[in-house]
Structure 1
Amino acid sequence: MQDLKFTMEVAEKLSYIKRNLQEVLGEDKIVEILKSRDVKIYWGTATTGKPHVAYFVAMSKIADFLRAGCEVTILFADVHAYLDNMKAPWELLELRVKYYEAIIKAMLTSIGVELDKLKFVKGTDFQLSKEYTLDVYRLSSMVSEHDARKAGAEVVKQVEHPLLSGLLYPGLQALDEEYLKCDAQFGGVDQRKIFTYAEKYLPQLGYSKRSHLMNPMVPGLTGTKMSSSEEDSKIDLLDSAAQVKKKLKKAFCEPGNITDNGVLSFCKHVLFPLRSSAFEIKRPAEHGGDAQYNTYEELEQAFGKEEVHPGDLKNSVEMYLNALLEPIRQEFEKPELKKLTSQAYPIQKKKGAAPQATGGGDDELVPSRLDLRVGKITSIKQHPEADSLFVETVDLGEECGPRTVISGLNGLVSMEKLDQSLGLFLCNLKPVKMRGIESQAMLMCASLEDHSQVEPLSVPEGSAPGDRVFVEGYEQGKPDEKLNPKKKIWEKLQPGLFVNEQHEAQWQGNSLMSKLGKIMTKSVKKSPIK
């Protein structure tokens, strides 16, 4: 009788662990562990874009793991975030780690998870250690470029000539299993190739092979994968009730469609697992009256038969979702969390418009639209037709060769100081003829309003022609090929450029950065950049 009870307990725990998963690799190992102790599981998230409501899918599974008695570690993968094409500098990533921890704790509290049963770890807590670093080197001696690319195919951006950082990414995720001492790693099915990579290579390092638990990829509100970079496909965790209503109203929810339906999928993977009571559809008597569904399968069947209208389903999801989000909104009304949010994810407000997230759409006034690059002035002479102008030949690291740049600096900056110097150039303005010679870029300078002090911006030591310069806190999206003069993008962005009291070049208070550090001035301060 005791053995039967023990078997039932193992089966119940396994049922919670597997609920709603798409695939489990190494289930037999999990069963064996459950016979003697609780399973140790880790879930990691790279601290890049803002978490959105799709994170509730992972949170509901973490709740399942805890119901099964599992020991759960949540990894804030800041090193992985940095390796993702260095979209954000370390200073910003530190703020984003704090934001992720605060928002995820608020989410877990909202769904009734006790935080004392969880362990929170940062990648930098262990991934910079001597032992871990040596294992990275050991792993790199075993893995081919082909296998590394294949492993990251679903989660690392694929290009013809990938950065080494993207090839390291899967190996680090595999090593995390050993250094976090877990029995299983949990993630989306899009990470399956990384999981099989870990199963292949960890034993070659002398470490045990772990099990892997995979969630399906839940459709977003547009019918595709919910993404933090696609505004219409996601509901932010801090969106107001009005914003939730607006986005759900536009959500893809075709009558009778039970396969490509983000609203219905959210019910399956979040709302039903978290509910202890029936799911209610509220509707007028003339439309069938209120209805209750005790299981997701009942709701799906009714929706497939078109007994539940998409509008009624959306209204119910809106009600339940707002109930989940309200405690999070209230938590982030605290002044310190409001400040953290604005620092971790700076936003640009258009005049008379709602705040715009960092990015680079055609209508967004974000600095990533500017093609700012390091250039070297390889020769310089006075313009033959204008005493105030210099004609410079500038190496911008382009295969097509140097560009001609005209600067109105004669009498303000000496020719000797400019010759062979490195500077910052704006490279996607429309070329313009100045006294018969076409200028193909612009040298960026700090200048007091009365021009009593003018100084070209200085780039970090060790910079090379072609190095990209970006604004801290804004993702390095692809700049406009050419700034449309009719839309006056440069004219609207330029007033935000300024050198502060500490000689730091900034845009709206966010530092101009290259991969080697900040853009500075040597003498001029508290001045516009033109």
Structure 2
Amino acid sequence: MDQLKWEEKYSLITKDLAEWLGDEKLKAILKERDLKIYWGTATTGKPHIGYFVPMIKIADFLRAGAEVTILFADLHAYLDNMKAPWELLELRTQYYEAIIKSMLKSIDVPLDKLKFVKGTDYQLSKEYTLDVYRLSSIVTEHDAKKAGAEVVKQIANPLLSGLMYPGLQALDEEYLKVDAQFGGVDQRKIFTFSEKYLPSMGYEKRIHLMNPMIPGLAGAKMSSSEEDSKIDLLDNAASVKKKLKKAFCEPGNITDNGLLSFSKSVLFPLLKDDEKYLVPRSAEFGGDITFGNYEDLESSFAKQEIHPGDLKGAVEVYINRVLDPIRKEFANDGKLKSLTSKAYPPPQKQKPQPVADEVVPSRLDIRVGKIVEVERHPDADSLYVEKIDLGEESGPRTIVSGLVNYVPIEEMKDRMVVVLANLKPANLRGVASHGMVLCASVDEPVRAVEPLRPPVNSKAGDKVIVEGYESGTPDEVLNPKKKVWEKLQVDLVVNGSGIACWSGNPLLTPSNENLIADKLRNVSIK
């Protein structure tokens, strides 16, 4: 390893990254010595198979002779909307350390070349705390909120803890004494925040290395908080099969395909030198087929030569092969089994009974609708008058929407939309409106509005529920005096993955699919 030239180390470090900042500095350091890198992970939900993506890259860093520090960011986990309760913080940090070490061993990454650090080991020191105060005196609320937009859980009324998060991550670079920080491309805003503010404190600007983000099983970003989007590292073979069966895998679609992305980023790099990627197929469909590189697999799937079911079968075999050593280690070690159950206790099954007039999202009658007619309002330049089919025997409803300045009329015709159907009818400039088209909306820095998009297989009249609030009956008409809609609307947002949520819980159609905003992120739904 020491015999590698600096150019070879540079190639290994930057291989397959989505982006890196500080290229000249990176080259200059490698000409003189090996790089010092840190990768941090907030100890929140259970790590999933997506964590193999940074692990594969950490193996590249080690092959390039880099000194790598893995930070278990326990304090960050608490600050991010208390995703890790204080009383579970230490247990979850222990779990993360155990499971990540097990992952690294399963793919033959030597642990003796890694340094493991816990955030609270130094983040509670006098020096670090004083630097947090110093940083808070120069960071604007705008910059702090913007930096955390893709990483910190977004809520209608942001907590101060979430605004502190990017600053602490920036200071970690100085206190870990590294040259570079590694993370996903979703961390980019935090990285540029660090590059802006650390020099203002007299500290060095670091290099930033960014991995591409791979889609989850549902098609959006893989997330610990979205159960169906990921496979847990301790999931048994039956659970892996069940989740892969439900995974989004549209024939010929190579863009939003978590199975292809995982194959590219993890499974192909883990193949032995003389091994090829095997896709098992029955004889009637041509028999087994192998691929020597990812590009050929992608091309074959794009041409629909590989059926989604066959790809799922191949990925299932390889995932189980990777997970087996981890599952066995935890199954055979009583201390690890106990740690898992204590760090992630099962949720309480018994839910409190709803009280009369409780303001819960099940009171909203949200449905998928199809615009069958649309015209400009005769007396209001900014309004459309639409006839929207909501699957009712009485026929399409008339609904007035202020979308003229945001969606061309030709794009409104035959469009599938999401409608709040139990508002009290309102007279808008002489036309009675019997509902509201729900849209992602932001006022600053430039006002933008985008109708939510139902999944492609939706039908007019499909009911939309909020996950976790499936029971309950919508009000026949929301009483405007009790402001039920207004109270619920403040927690309706489009998250960083473009998924419509209420208080962090996704809105789902009968097919258990998400409502999406194609462009806007981390904004309100109105």
Question: Which residue matches 1:248?
Answer: 244
How far the C-alpha of 1:367 sits from its partner, in A, is 6.8
Instruction: Please say which of residues 69-78 and 275-284 is displaced more in the overlay.
Output: 275-284
Q: Are the counterparts in 2 of residues 369 and 480 from structure 1 also a CA contact under 8 Å?
A: no
**CA shift in 2, pair 1:281/1:46, >3 Å:** same
TM-score norm. by structure 1 comes to: 0.65
Question: Which residue matches 1:312?
Answer: 310
RMSD after superposition: 2.5
Question: Which residue matches 2:341?
Answer: 342
How far the C-alpha of 1:483 sits from its partner, in A, is 9.3
What is the identity, as a one-letter code, of the residue corresponding to 2:115?
Answer: K
Is 1:290 aligned to residue 288 of structure 2?
yes
Question: Which residue matches 2:170?
Answer: 174
Deviations 1:185-219 (A, max 9, x none): 11111110100000011111111111111112210
What is the identity, as a one-letter code, of the residue corresponding to 1:316?
Answer: A
Question: Which residue matches 1:238?
Answer: 234
**CA shift in 2, pair 1:189/1:365, >3 Å:** farther
- State how far apart, in whole Å, the 2-side matches of 1:50 and 1:206 are: 37
- State how far apart, in whole Å, the 1-side matches of 2:182 and 2:49 are: 18
How do 1:312-461 residues align onto structure 2 when only pairs under 5 Å count? 312-333=310-331, 334-348=333-347, 365=350
**CA shift in 2, pair 1:204/1:483, >3 Å:** same
Is 1:272 aligned to residue 268 of structure 2?
yes
- State how far apart, in whole Å, the 1-side matches of 2:282 and 2:82 are: 53
How far the C-alpha of 1:15 sits from its partner, in A, is 2.1
- State how far apart, in whole Å, the 1-side matches of 2:342 and 2:88 are: 8
Question: Which residue matches 1:229?
Answer: 225
**CA shift in 2, pair 1:303/1:177, >3 Å:** same
**CA shift in 2, pair 1:479/1:365, >3 Å:** farther
Is 1:149 aligned to residue 145 of structure 2?
yes
Is 1:91 aligned to residue 87 of structure 2?
yes
Q: Are the counterparts in 1 of residues 81 and 153 from structure 2 also a CA contact under 8 Å?
A: no
Is 1:57 aligned to residue 56 of structure 2?
no
What is the identity, as a one-letter code, of the residue corresponding to 1:149?
Answer: K
What is the identity, as a one-letter code, of the residue corresponding to 1:95?
Answer: L
- State how far apart, in whole Å, the 1-side matches of 2:342 and 2:355 are: 22
**CA shift in 2, pair 1:78/1:366, >3 Å:** farther
Indicate the structure (1 or 2) with the bigger Cα radius of gyration.
1
How far the C-alpha of 1:480 sits from its partner, in A, is 8.7
How far the C-alpha of 1:286 sits from its partner, in A, is 2.8
- State how far apart, in whole Å, the 2-side matches of 1:368 and 1:65 are: 53
Question: Which residue matches 1:444?
Answer: none
What is the identity, as a one-letter code, of the residue corresponding to 1:298?
Answer: D
What is the identity, as a one-letter code, of the residue corresponding to 1:335?
Answer: G
- State how far apart, in whole Å, the 2-side matches of 1:226 and 1:369 are: 32
What is the identity, as a one-letter code, of the residue corresponding to 1:143?
Answer: V
**CA shift in 2, pair 1:480/1:232, >3 Å:** closer
What is the identity, as a one-letter code, of the residue corresponding to 1:280?
Answer: L
Any stretches of 5+ residues in structure 2 without a counterpart?
357-465, 474-526
How far the C-alpha of 1:160 sits from its partner, in A, is 4.6
Identify the match of residue 123 of structure 1 among 86, 110, 119. Answer: 119
Deviations 1:233-286 (A, max 9, x none): 111111111111111111111111111100000001111122233212222333
Question: Which residue matches 1:488?
Answer: none
Q: Are the counterparts in 1 of residues 16 and 211 from structure 2 also a CA contact under 8 Å?
A: yes
How far the C-alpha of 1:167 sits from its partner, in A, is 0.9
Instruction: Please say which of residues 221-230 and 169-178 is displaced more in the overlay.
Output: 221-230
**CA shift in 2, pair 1:366/1:274, >3 Å:** farther
What is the identity, as a one-letter code, of the residue corresponding to 1:344?
Answer: A
Aligned to 1:120, the other structure's residue is in SS state strand
- State how far apart, in whole Å, the 2-side matches of 1:129 and 1:38 are: 29
What is the identity, as a one-letter code, of the residue corresponding to 1:306?
Answer: Q
Instruction: Please say which of residues 307-316 and 231-240 is displaced more in the overlay.
Output: 307-316
- State how far apart, in whole Å, the 2-side matches of 1:97 and 1:168 are: 20
- State how far apart, in whole Å, the 1-side matches of 2:173 and 2:267 are: 30
What is the identity, as a one-letter code, of the residue corresponding to 2:259?
Answer: V
**CA shift in 2, pair 1:302/1:174, >3 Å:** same
Identify the match of residue 130 of structure 2 among 113, 126, 134. Answer: 134
What is the identity, as a one-letter code, of the residue corresponding to 2:77?
Answer: A
What is the identity, as a one-letter code, of the residue corresponding to 2:342?
Answer: Q
How far the C-alpha of 1:35 sits from its partner, in A, is 1.1
Identity score, percent: 70
Deviations 1:80-134 (A, max 9, x none): 0111223443331100000000000111001111111111100001101111111
**CA shift in 2, pair 1:367/1:98, >3 Å:** farther
- State how far apart, in whole Å, the 2-side matches of 1:156 and 1:259 are: 26
Q: Are the counterparts in 1 of residues 44 and 92 from structure 2 also a CA contact under 8 Å?
A: yes
Is 1:16 aligned to residue 12 of structure 2?
yes
Is 1:165 aligned to residue 164 of structure 2?
no
Is 1:202 aligned to residue 192 of structure 2?
no
Question: Which residue matches 2:35?
Answer: 39
- State how far apart, in whole Å, the 2-side matches of 1:86 and 1:228 are: 14
Question: Which residue matches 1:513?
Answer: none
**CA shift in 2, pair 1:304/1:68, >3 Å:** same
- State how far apart, in whole Å, the 1-side matches of 2:346 and 2:51 are: 22
Q: Are the counterparts in 2 of residues 368 and 479 from structure 1 also a CA contact under 8 Å?
A: no
Is 1:218 aligned to residue 214 of structure 2?
yes
**CA shift in 2, pair 1:311/1:479, >3 Å:** closer
- State how far apart, in whole Å, the 2-side matches of 1:255 and 1:335 are: 44
Question: Which residue matches 1:262?
Answer: 258
**CA shift in 2, pair 1:479/1:61, >3 Å:** closer
Any stretches of 5+ residues in structure 1 without a counterpart?
349-357, 359-363, 372-477, 486-530
